Amino acid sequence: MDYTVDRVRVAGATLHVETTGTGPALVLIPGGGGDAGLYAEVVPLLAGRFTVITFDRRGNSRSPLDGGSTPVGVPEQAADVVAVLDHHRVDRAHVFGSSGGAIIALELLAGHRDRLLGAVVHEPPLVQLLPGSPEQRELDRLRRIADTEGPLRGFVAFATMTMPTPPRLFRHRAGRALVAAALWLVRATGTAWRRVTGRAPGGMARLVGNTGVLMRRELPAFCHDYRPDLDALRSAHPPWWLATGRDSAGRPYHRPAHVLGGRLGVPVVEFPGGHTAYQRHAEDFARCLIELLTP
């Protein structure tokens, strides 16, 4: 499959953007890790119906920030999606966002609805809507691990939260330390590759390289500081849906979507699989998404 790769300048960053397929535009907004490669399994399945646009979010992988103090909050990242549409001369597009990407999709619905054909908001971890809840305590635990044990161990705990059946090794401090050491080697190899070849490392090395941004900057900005504009979302006119995975019940990113849907009167649809169904159940996931977005 042929991909067009662009470099798109936005305020404070340069975005790596990939485009393929034909038909109405569909922007896939990645969640934690912020890398277009997260959708590699599902893009070919969607490209026959849509012009699929994926990108590395600001500060992640191949989308460097201009400086360490450049904002990475939700409003800036929603504006990045609009800039990508402008670059491709797309007036209106469908958007799909999962996890942190789902929170960005909500901000697009609230503040940039005129640019949307529709939106699917998949498992936004808006634990701030559930103060004092087990879901909020779980996200706070991830932040504490990142603060006290380092971002790589925080990333291991984060990955454990999204796995259907996480290995027992991942659940304890000593296990996190061992896995984090292996991830450090992956990151170091990727850094050496970049220095020697001048090119970006492969997918896993890129994702591991994003752990600092994810755990130290995005997690608090998305799951603590951000408050969705409920009034704006109630009046959003493009068709849109909240979504959760069939296997995600009990996870911190499941109940917030249902609580938000109840407050807004927005339907919550069930997708196959869990938090990363677009990787683990790509065909079923693509079929569900196409059915929602196709009139």
pLDDT digits 0-9 by tens, 228-274: 999 999 999 899 999 999 999 999 999 999 999 999 999 999 999 99
pTM (2 decimals)? Answer: 0.90
Rounded Cα–Cα distance for residues 234 and 33 (Å): 29
Rounded Cα–Cα distance for residues 120 and 242 (Å): 6
Q: How confident is the model at residue 176 (pLDDT cuts 50, 70, 90)?
A: low
Q: How confident is the model at residue 181 (pLDDT cuts 50, 70, 90)?
A: very low
Which residue is it, tokens 């599902």?
A: 42
Q: Where are the domains of the chain?
A: 4-293
Residue 142 has what pLDDT? 83
Q: Are strands 13-21 and 4-10 parallel, antiparallel or unpaired?
A: antiparallel
Mean pLDDT, rounded, of the chain: 88
Residue 256 has what pLDDT? 97
Give tens-digit pLDDT for 15-72.
999 999 999 999 999 999 999 999 999 999 999 999 999 999 999 999 999 998 999 9
Residue 171 has what pLDDT? 59
Rounded Cα–Cα distance for residues 182 and 204 (Å): 12
Rounded Cα–Cα distance for residues 29 and 278 (Å): 12
Cβ-based neighbours of 44, under 8 Å, separated by 6 or more: 1
Quote the tokens at residue 83. 């800039």
The domain covering 4-293 belongs, at the CATH homologous superfamily level, to Alpha/Beta hydrolase fold, catalytic domain (3.40.50.1820)
**pLDDT of 194 above 50:** no
Q: What is the DSSP letter of 182?
A: H
Q: How confident is the model at residue 178 (pLDDT cuts 50, 70, 90)?
A: very low
